[in-house]
Chain A
Amino acid sequence: MSVSYSAVGWNRQKKLYDGIIAAFCITYLILFAGFTWIFNAQVTFETLIIRSASTLAVILLHIILAIGPLCRLQSKFLPLLYNRRHLGVTMFFLAAIHGVFSILQFHALGNIHPLLSVFVSNTNYDSLAAFPFQAPGFIALIILMIMAVTSHDFWLHNLSPRLWKTLHMFVYMAYALVVMHVMLGVIQYEQNPLLVILVFTGSISLIVLHLLAAQKERKTDEAKLTAKQDGFVMVCKITDIENTRAKIFCVEKERIAVYRHEDRIYAIHNVCKHQGGPLGEGRILDGCITCPWHGYQYLPHNGQSPPPFKEKVSTYAIKIIHEEIWLNPQPFPEGTTQTGAKSDNYGQ
């Protein structure tokens, strides 16, 4: 959070997660090398490195891109989101190994600079069949490098969350470039139809997941709240919200998280100041609303991060009439204290 920039906190969960990533990568690389040695022993060590690193990076990229929509569809995937950056940096590291070894192997022996050679050694840019497929791969690698370098919260704060998020949405462009790099490259020379099927299945799976998640979000945004009175809208009954949990409502184009904490109801803006995480999908831990994405915390009564942290979000007026929660969608300035609303029936 904003008080200082410290080294990554290697809590138990992150260590476990990183251990799983490392074990998966090492197992994959060993299996890849083993199968290559059995079925294609004439492959050189450099080629083995190029192929194993690239295939693993593509698999990880698919997992990374699936985590976001999976979390929006099923909250049980949220721990993956909490740790996603480590997976992203690992994926870039593997992609970089593939890129460096490929450039050295395929372009280092020419009479022009290897990086320039990637773009000019084959100039059939007007032909799909003979397209210089390494160019889209190289551009994707640059995008992934920028994302990996700026993945730390230091850059998030200095670039502003909005710019940082915009920058990191270029991962979708990188993904499209990687798909075409594969399709116009190795697929043109390895005729095994399994490769095409895998690429196609991976892409379609991601597209379906993202569109399903978008549809779910759209339903939330378009839910009609018709009961209105003195600037307040009726959102739900008290019993609809579990203690320490929230429900999210989209009122006048803004998402608001209505939380139940102990015997009171509070409302705060749904968007976390860190990376725009959905605060209403989190829960109250240690008396604080905790963002499900990266654990940023806010006090329910004033929307402020507990000292010494400085983040704060808007709060909203709430009242309870006949066990129904009524919300005023006009936000108070960020960090404004609200007493919350209490039901007469609590404690009975």
Chain B
Amino acid sequence: MTKNLRIRHRQIWALMALLLPIGILSAWLVIPNHEPVKILKPREQVLLPVIAYTAGTEHFQARVRTNTDRSAWQLEWINKTILTTPSAVIYKIKGETFAPESAELIGRIETQGRYIFSLQPDSTGWVGTRLILYDFIHAQRTDSIKF
């Protein structure tokens, strides 16, 4: 390498040493809702026996499940048809106003299959609650289910 090229490499990486950690940390800090509920749950998770609430549309079925002493809660989500939005996450809101920043993120789903997400221990009071299906690639609400 010529001296100029060596200097340019050094300058670029000095700049990267400053900007990359800032970029990574900034992006890490804005990850919404740090509860460990956002990962895709394996299909093998055991379903809780009691169905507490149920709601659905022609494309989806959602069931809030619990056990007999109501100490554990789950959301069972079933795609009845193939989802045409592969980048979909489920948010839970009270009322009608939805903003991803303030809504509770339940988890992400793929285009097909059944998904089980753990819910907060006290998940009573689902009447009037709405599940929003949100396309995070296009940043738009695609569907919703009301309990």
Contact = CB atoms under 8 A, between A and B. Distances in A.
A42 to B, nearest CB: 3
Interface in B1-39: 1-3, 5-6, 8-10, 12-14, 16-17, 19-21, 23-24, 26-28, 30-32, 34, 36, 38-39
A211 B13 contact: yes
Contacts of B14: 211
B111 interface: yes
A211 B111 contact: no
B68 to A, nearest CB: 29
B93 interface: no
A117 B139 CA distance: 12
Given A42-B110, A189-B136, A214-B13, A176 B30 contact: no
Sorting the interface of chain B by its residue count into under 10, 10 to 19, 20 to 34 or 35 or more gives 35 or more
Interface in B32-72: 32, 34, 36, 38-40, 42-43
B24 A200 contact: yes
A13 interface: no
A179 interface: yes
B20 A43 contact: no
Contact of B12 (A44, A172, A187): A172
A149 interface: no
Nearest to B89: A189
A211 B39 contact: no
Sorting the interface of chain A by its residue count into under 10, 10 to 19, 20 to 34 or 35 or more gives 35 or more
A176 B20 contact: yes
A188 B32 contact: yes
B24 A276 contact: no
Contacts of B19: 176
Contact of A183 (B1, B23, B111): B23
Contacts of B23: 176, 179-180, 183
Nearest to A272: B1
Contacts of A271: 1-2
Interface stretch (A124-132, A234-242, A300-308, A324-332): A124-132
Contacts of B87: 106
B38 A191 contact: yes
Given A42-B113, A129-B30, A176-B19, A199 B24 contact: yes
A191 B111 contact: no
B127 interface: no
Interface string A171-202: 01000100110011001111110001001100
B101 interface: yes
Nearest to B36: A191
A133 B28 CA distance: 14
B110 A44 contact: yes
Contact of B42 (A40, A204, A207): A40
Given A129-B101, A190-B39, A124 B137 contact: no
A192 B10 CA distance: 34
Contact of A44 (B100, B112, B114): B112
In this complex, which of B3, B19, B39 has the most chain A Cβ atoms within 10 angstroms of its Cβ? Answer: B3
A194 B36 CA distance: 13
Given A41-B43, A189-B89, A214-B10, A183 B27 contact: yes
Enumerate the 8 nearest inter-chain pairs by beta-carbon distance, A residue then B residue, closest first: A42-B113, A183-B27, A210-B13, A122-B139, A214-B10, A129-B30, A121-B138, A191-B38
Given A180-B23, A187-B28, A192 B86 contact: no
B20 A203 contact: yes
Nearest to B3: A253
5 contacts: A42-B110, A189-B38, A196-B24, A218-B10, A250-B3
Interface string B112-134: 11110000000000000000000
A263 interface: no
Interface in A8-27: none
Contacts of B114: 42
